[in-house]
Structure 1
Amino acid sequence: MKGFLIALQFLTRLPLPSIMVDDAAFARSMRWFPAVGLVIGAAVAGSAWAGALIDSRLGALAALVVWVGVTGALHLDGLADIADAGGAAHKTQGKDRERLLAVLADPHLGSFGVVAIMLQLLAKFVLLSCLIDEGAFAALVSVPFAARIGPLVWTWWLVPLHQGLGARFRSAIGPLHIMFWMIALAAVSWFCPVLLVTPLLVLWWGWQVRRTIGGVSGDGHGAGIELIETALLLALTVAVRWGLAG
């Protein structure tokens, strides 16, 4: 339970009592990331339902605001950094990896990052509106949960780019932890079969960062979570509209 609270403090901005932890306990808290996703998903779904009592678009706006507010835009920051780095790599035809890593480490926000954040928020708003129109509130709970299985896989699979958070988490994640959450994902997928696409999305993003950057960092984790969340929202929207949501 202590690990869950540590993960909740790290991944959210919810008001929680301060907990003093060492590096080992902090690293082990990553095992609870998907559980934190359930908390985030419940907050998003609840706000979507409440807002939709007035209008579906208001429900989508409320859900999006809560999504960003609860997470403190932590993962959006990673998405922006990855977008800026990708833009720099494109300008050099991908030949200057040092340039790419330098841009990735730069705390300033560039034009590619701004566009990435705007498109991400717009995509989530539109997809949330579609799902709210269909009354798919329960499915929304599962999206942040499924997306946060990704960091466990990437931490175990990919080389950390530097001695940051990724390197600290690596020692605490093993195949058994991933298997546990994959089984949990399979159980949830019994009620929402679309979630079975999650492992493919996780492997796709891992392959992308390995191919373009050579490893994974906190930014890679954050960007991956954001992109998988949006991909799952899109998959759910298509499935609900086609009557395949389960």
Structure 2
Amino acid sequence: MTTVERWISATRGATGFLTRLPVGYRDEDWDAFRSTPAAFPVVGFVAGALAGVPLLAADSLAPPTVAFGYLLAVYAVMGVHHLDGVADLGDALVVHGDVERRRNVLKDTTTGVGALLSVAVTVATLALGGLGLAGLPVRAAVGVAVGAEVGAKLGMAAMACFGASGYEGIGEWFTSASTPRAFLAPVVVAFPGVALTWPDPVAAVAICGGVAGIGLPWYLANRDLGGISGDIFGAANEVGRIAGVHAGVIAWTLL
């Protein structure tokens, strides 16, 4: 497989894993993706642009309507499977016990109060962020939405390159396939995102916020679960997006 073919395969695998877009990826695409962390921000640009389409109506429709459209678009493009990571993490964190006990709850299919609360807060916070986007000029709103998605995916690439997993599963598949040196490529891919709202820096702030947002689930995973799992990647995707959106909206308000 040539370098170009590998990039195409990795991007197809990333798109199939991170979104609901019908790309029809194959097993070799998954293998290429997990060893090519730069594919994370590539999908961030595409998915963020598609999710930001309802924001194009920010100047003509009521802000709550635009915000609702953005919320629907996010989960239509990205799917709700990443919220499962938020739910599982929420349940694991409210359980008393050692790391092994929390891991067992993380894998349990039963939905508890921690899952319900964490998912409700996640969706509500994203909706409120969408309401903030609806009050921005169209270019800024779309730029922040794309920047937040790119930042979240860049943060996931950082987890893959610098994180560690203490047990088998999707988390281990990513962290074992990448090294810290591999993080340079995702940064290079994500960097053009800072120009989305140039000269206003709100898109750059949204990217930075998205990266910073993944720090919370990453920290909790290392503290309470013994390392990163597939659920943590899913939770990081959701939390990073929210942090990026709110960071961009705050930056526009203050600048």
TM-score by length of 2: 0.84
Equivalent position of 1:215 in the other structure: 227
Deviates more, 1:77-86 or 1:117-126: 117-126
Say whether the 8 Å CA contact 2:52–2:142 is kept in structure 1. Answer: yes
What are the superposed Cα offsets for residues 34-93 of structure 1, whole Å, 9 maximum, x if unpaired? Answer: 1111111001111222476332211111111111122221211101100000011xxx2x
Q: 2: distance between equivalents of 1:130 and 1:85?
A: 31
Say whether the 8 Å CA contact 1:27–1:169 is kept in structure 2. Answer: yes
Note if 1:230 corresponds to 2:242: yes
Among 122, 140, 143, the alignment partner of 2:148 is: 143
Q: 1: distance between equivalents of 2:68 and 2:209?
A: 26
1:172 is paired with a residue whose SS is: coil
Equivalent position of 2:119 in the other structure: 117
Q: CA deviation at 1:239?
A: 0.9
Gaps of 5+ in 2: 1-7
Among 56, 62, 65, the alignment partner of 1:55 is: 62
Equivalent position of 2:39 in the other structure: 32
Say whether the 8 Å CA contact 2:83–2:235 is kept in structure 1. Answer: yes
Superposed CA RMSD in Å reads 2.2
Structure 1's 155 and 61: CA in aligned 2 closer, same or farther, altered over 3 A? same
Among 139, 154, 162, the alignment partner of 1:157 is: 162
Equivalent position of 1:41 in the other structure: 48
Among the aligned pairs, what percent are the same residue?
26
Q: CA deviation at 1:201?
A: 3.7
Gaps of 5+ in 1: none
Q: 2: distance between equivalents of 1:130 and 1:20?
A: 40
Structure 1's 62 and 8: CA in aligned 2 closer, same or farther, altered over 3 A? same
Say whether the 8 Å CA contact 2:172–2:228 is kept in structure 1. Answer: no
Q: 1: distance between equivalents of 2:19 and 2:204?
A: 27
Structure 1's 65 and 174: CA in aligned 2 closer, same or farther, altered over 3 A? same
Q: CA deviation at 1:20?
A: 4.6
Note if 1:107 corresponds to 2:112: no
Equivalent position of 2:3 in the other structure: none
Say whether the 8 Å CA contact 2:55–2:133 is kept in structure 1. Answer: no
Among 6, 9, 13, the alignment partner of 1:6 is: 13
Q: 2: distance between equivalents of 1:241 and 1:85?
A: 36
Structure 1's 221 and 185: CA in aligned 2 closer, same or farther, altered over 3 A? same
Structure 1's 20 and 203: CA in aligned 2 closer, same or farther, altered over 3 A? closer
What are the superposed Cα offsets for residues 15-34 of structure 1, whole Å, 9 maximum, x if unpaired? Answer: 22353527633523544111
Among 9, 19, 26, the alignment partner of 1:19 is: 26
Structure 1's 199 and 66: CA in aligned 2 closer, same or farther, altered over 3 A? closer
